[in-house]
């Protein structure tokens, strides 16, 4: 018995799963791959070090909008993490000075810090 790990483009995932359904044991583990750059058809390379703060900084640069808990929950889902951990991301982003909090409690709002 063997365990196989491979990378598949989004549009080919269904074909791969249909193919594996008849010959594999159990359900394959499907995990979204974030933070990836392809270079010449070789193995994928990481864009950042994979730290959640670095990934959030990259997300802030590429996704305009107000930084709200819902915005951070969408970020969490986009990297394959539970949206319930948004508060931890907000805290780490504040500590890294990516965002600035104004207000307290449920009236909190967050502003992006300029680079």
Please say if the pLDDT value at position 51 is more than 90. Answer: no
Over the chain, what is the mean pLDDT?
A: 83
In a domain, 87, yes or no: yes
In a domain, 59, yes or no: yes
Output the CA torsion 62→102→53→70 (10° steps): -60
pLDDT of 96 reads 92
In a domain, 103, yes or no: yes
Question: pTM for the full model?
Answer: 0.62
70 lies in the same domain as 102: yes
Tell me the HSE value of 87 on the side-chain side, using a 13 A CA sphere: 4
Domain that holds residue 106: 52-112
Of the two residues 36 and 102, the one the predictor is more confident about is: 102
pLDDT of 47 reads 66
Instruction: Give the CATH number for residue 85.
Output: 1.10.10.10
* pLDDT tens digits, one per residue of 65-105: 888 889 999 998 888 788 898 999 999 999 999 999 888 87
16 lies in the same domain as 42: yes
pLDDT of 115 reads 65
57 lies in the same domain as 107: yes
In a domain, 4, yes or no: no
């Amino acid at each position: 018995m063997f365990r196989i790990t491979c990378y598949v483009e989004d549009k080919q995932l269904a074909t791969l799963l249909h193919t594996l359904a008849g010959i594999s044991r159990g359900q394959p583990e499907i995990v979204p791959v974030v933070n990836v750059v392809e270079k010449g058809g070789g193995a994928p390379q990481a864009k950042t070090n994979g730290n959640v703060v670095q990934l959030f900084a990259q997300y802030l640069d590429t996704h305009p909008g107000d930084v709200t808990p819902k915005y951070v929950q969408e970020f969490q889902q986009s990297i394959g993490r539970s949206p319930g951990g948004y508060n931890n991301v907000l805290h780490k982003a504040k500590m890294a000075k990516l965002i600035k909090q104004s207000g307290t409690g449920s009236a909190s709002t967050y502003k992006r810090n300029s680079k």
